[in-house]
Structure 1
Amino acid sequence: MQRYFVDGTQFSADSVRITGDDAHHLIRVMRAEPGDLIICSDGANREVEAELVLLEKQEVTARIVRELPMENEPHIQVWIAQSLPKGDKMETVIQKCTELGAARFIPFVSERTVVQYEAKKEAKRLERWQKIAKEAAEQAHRNRVPDISAPLTWKQLLAEAAQADSGLICYEKPQGQGIRAAVQAAIDSAGCGGQAGADSKQKPDGTNRTAILVVIGPEGGFSEREVAEAESAGCRAISLGRRILRTETAAMAALSCILYEAGEMGG
């Protein structure tokens, strides 16, 4: 069944309107007809199964058949802080990590970032990233679309880390702690086994689910100074094993390990 994220204002008590690219996709790509069933979510508090009743050129109207439980999100939030990589690697990170269950993406510029960051292109690039996240969330049957921040400086990222309950920085040098022990320590410190603890901080999405920030470096890795600064800001340096991973691979590997240890990858 096709799934679409629509703005909450497009819901009424008994119907939902689908407009824009989603309406075009239903009409032109899916060749939908009245009577077809779809799932619509506002990405926050409501998800429904709905029956198409009216397909117009720019808008589709569907009758709400039943309310659905929103239970596909991990009980633990993982925030991916990714130093801007070359080419379209950031798009790959957003797409695949959204499918896996990342709750938030925080792009940033670090000492060895190769990409020349241009503020003028920020809005257009952010819009594309958000579209990729939305489509990946729909494909993976997520209940929420991950938040994507505008790119931050290194100092801004360290300040942002204070919003998370725990922080991890991936570092290839030997002093990095194994990710399994670090994740278990983060979960244990929250005292909730991945569930929202009483002392868990209020998050940007309005929830208080335990959040773990994982910081991924650029193609050239982090400098020792950056790792020291991250540790001073409360992050643990972790290792992803003896092999050196590409920056986009590291993000997916770290996320998978964290969700597995939190019991979110098949129990």
Structure 2
Amino acid sequence: MQRYFVPRDNWENDQVYIHGDDAHHISKVMRFKINDKVICNHPNGQAAICTITSFDTNLIKLAVIEWLNEQVELPFQITIAQGLPKGDKLDFILQKGTELGAHSFIPFQAQRSIVKWDKKKTEKKLNRFDKIVKEASEQSHRNKIPIIQDIMAISDLVHESRNYDVKLFAYEEEAKVDHEHSFGTLVSNLKEGQRVLVCIGPEGGFSTNEVDLLKKNNFTAVRLGPRILRTETAALYVLASISYHFEELRC
């Protein structure tokens, strides 16, 4: 069943109102008719089966039929802090990371990030990123859309990390000599409900200064398996591993 995320102001008791791009998608792309059903997601994480009662290209009116009791979110709030990669790799990370259950993303300017974003470019990209995670959330039947924070310097990221229970960064050079720093070992020690921050470097990895800064601020270096992963693969490895451990093995 097609799913749409509806802003809080568009809910009124058992009535739901959809407009803008989603209204166009319902009427022109999906070609739904009156009495057809869709799932509408409320910002509080709940979802309801709704039936279309009236519509035109700009406004769709729906009535709630049934509230769903579903749980599809990871048992942790996993934030991926991603050093800015080249090209459209961040688009890929956001899309697939959303499908795999990330709670939020923090793009950060690392010392070895080749790309540099100015203010105008950042605003444009963040608008596109919001659309990417919204569509990925709908496609994967998420109950919540991941948050994309503004781009940060690594010093700002360190300050932001004070809000997290567990702080990790992928750094195979140090972690490979200490098997207790394997990602699998650390995952097995996580407790449900924790806020977890995982920091991934850009293509060139972290600089020595960045490694020292992260370690001084209680980040733990981890290795992500015995092979070296590309930056666009690392975050997906993290999310898939956590999902398998806590959602599949314990189901």
TM category (shorter chain) comes to over 0.9
Q: Which amino acid aligns with 1:181?
A: T
Question: What does the per-residue CA deviation read over 1:161-213, in whole Å, with 9 as the maximum and x for residues that have no partner?
Answer: 1111101100121435200112233x1xxxxx31x3xxxxxxxxxxxxx1111
Task: State the distance in 2 between where 1:175 and 1:34 align.
Answer: 58
Question: What does the per-residue CA deviation read over 1:142-179, in whole Å, with 9 as the maximum and x for residues that have no partner?
Answer: 10000000100010011111111101100121435200
Q: What residue is the counterpart of 1:41 in the other structure?
A: 41
Task: State the distance in 1 between where 2:104 and 2:157 align.
Answer: 13
Pairwise mapping of residues 182-261 of structure 1 onto structure 2 (< 5 A)? 182-185=186-189, 187=190, 193-194=191-192, 196=193, 210-261=194-245
Q: What residue is the counterpart of 1:104 in the other structure?
A: 104
Task: State the distance in 1 between where 2:72 and 2:241 align.
Answer: 18
Pairwise mapping of residues 106-145 of structure 1 onto structure 2 (< 5 A)? 106-145=106-145
* Structure 1 SS opposite 2:173: coil
Task: State the distance in 1 between where 2:223 and 2:208 align.
Answer: 14
Q: What residue is the counterpart of 1:179 in the other structure?
A: 183
Q: What residue is the counterpart of 1:90 in the other structure?
A: 90
CA 1:156 to 1:265, structure 2 compared with 1: closer, same or farther past 3 Å? farther
The 4+ residue runs of structure 1 with deviation greater than 2 A are 258-261, 264-267
Task: State the distance in 1 between where 2:47 and 2:152 align.
Answer: 32
CA RMSD of aligned residues (A): 1.3
Task: State the distance in 2 between where 1:117 and 1:151 align.
Answer: 9
Q: Which amino acid aligns with 2:197?
A: L
Indicate if the aligned counterparts of 1:182 and 1:236 stay in contact, CA closer than 8 A. Answer: no
Task: State the distance in 2 between where 1:184 and 1:224 align.
Answer: 28
Q: Could you tell me which of 244, 247, 250 is aligned with 1:264? A: 247
Unmatched tracts of structure 1, length 5 or more? 188-192, 197-209
Task: State the distance in 2 between where 1:82 and 1:265 align.
Answer: 26
Task: State the distance in 2 between where 1:227 and 1:257 align.
Answer: 24
* Structure 1 SS opposite 2:172: coil
- Cα shift at 1:70: 4.7
Q: Which amino acid aligns with 2:41?
A: S
Indicate if the aligned counterparts of 2:174 and 2:221 stay in contact, CA closer than 8 A. Answer: no
**May I ask how many residue pairs the two structures share in their alignment?**
246
Q: Which amino acid aligns with 2:103?
A: A
- The yes-or-no answer on 1:78 pairing with 2:61 is no
- The yes-or-no answer on 1:25 pairing with 2:14 is no
Task: State the distance in 1 between where 2:15 and 2:8 align.
Answer: 12
Aligned identity (percent) is 40
Indicate if the aligned counterparts of 2:45 and 2:144 stay in contact, CA closer than 8 A. Answer: no
Q: Which amino acid aligns with 1:151?
A: I
Task: State the distance in 2 between where 1:14 and 1:78 align.
Answer: 32
Instruction: Provide TM-score, normalisation by structure 1.
Output: 0.88
- Cα shift at 1:47: 1.9
Task: State the distance in 1 between where 2:248 and 2:121 align.
Answer: 36
